[in-house]
Amino acid sequence: MLSVLGCPSASASAKFLHDGFATPIHYFSLKRSPKLQLVCTSSQRSCFKRFCEKEERVTIAPLSQGFSALQEDDSPWESGNVWSNLALYLFTLHIPFSFGGLSVVALFTGQPVLHPQTEALSLITIQMLELSGALILLKYTAKPQYKLSNFFKTNKLLSNRSWILSSVLGFGFLTLMIFLTSLLADRSFGSKPVNNPILKDMLLNSDISRVSCVLAYCIVTPLLEEVFYRGCLLTSLSSTMKWQQAVAISSVIFSAIHFSAESFLQLFIIGCVLGCSYCWTGNLSSSIFIHSLYNALTLGSDIYPSVDDFG
């Protein structure tokens, strides 16, 4: 728990003054006198005063940082390893599993077109493998003292920032923004079907397929993407730049890795809303909950057309 510190203790002060100047510091032993007396020059007292003010500024800074609750110590990665760790994840886990996983299943089963139930079961399996790989990667690339539970910690100094309230407001704002951008796109480029026919086939095929899709899109995928893109990437970027810049950069990357030019703007908006929600609370539960709700709404839209998917 952070607290505002004043000046250091008397013993620490004496050591500071003695080490910082060539002029020796004379003091009486505590055994000889109940009071510790320091004899120092005016320049030494001035320097000591600046030292105290510096300590106080460092301690107060996290309490007055404004919108973002993220702190430099929250970063799971060293600042110099952010982009190499990102590339490692993308090229060893995300691209092979997300864009090549079903092709591998089709190759092994000898079915050019997978049965909807087989595809749904393969999808949840692939997502769970990618999540497991991402957690292992995080374990070996994160700072030695970093714990996964840090993503879900509650800052006692910001206890008034409820992640539940942030989730409700974030989801409402996100739904409104997606509706407005969809309306603008329809008027500018013409109306297009919003259904995903492959996903719709899986949802309508069987109960097993529906459960697999719900688990994949509403639990595993939100957890995977929020831990990596908000928990790891956004937090690490915010330790080296303003939180607004970190949100924008992480949202661009989040949008780009979906490889969907038509949905780039909407995905960017989604990334910004999720990023802002996480920054405000400092708790990843808020962005995971919003992501899950939005994907649940998406699954419903493939049966009752409404909004686009962003798994």
Cα–chain center distance at 3: 25
The one-digit pLDDT tens for each residue of the chain (311 residues) are 443 344 444 444 434 334 443 444 444 344 444 444 545 566 656 655 565 554 444 443 443 358 888 887 889 999 899 999 999 999 999 999 999 999 999 999 888 889 999 999 999 999 999 999 999 999 999 998 888 888 888 776 677 788 999 999 999 999 999 889 888 877 877 766 666 788 888 988 899 999 999 999 999 999 999 999 999 999 999 999 999 999 999 999 999 999 988 889 999 999 999 999 999 999 999 999 999 999 999 898 877 654 444 45
Q: Which residues contact 248 (CB under 8 A, 6 or more apart)?
A: 272
Q: Which residues contact 194 (CB under 8 A, 6 or more apart)?
A: 182, 301, 305, 306, 307, 308
CA pair distance 201, 88, nearest whole angstrom: 34
67 in Cβ contact with 279 (< 8 Å): yes
Residue burial 296-308, b: 16+ Cβ < 10 Å; e: rest: ebbbebbeeebbb
Q: Model-level pTM?
A: 0.75
CA pair distance 272, 266, nearest whole angstrom: 10
User: In Å, how far are 59, 80, 244, 289 from 241, measured between CA atoms?
Assistant: 19, 13, 8, 26
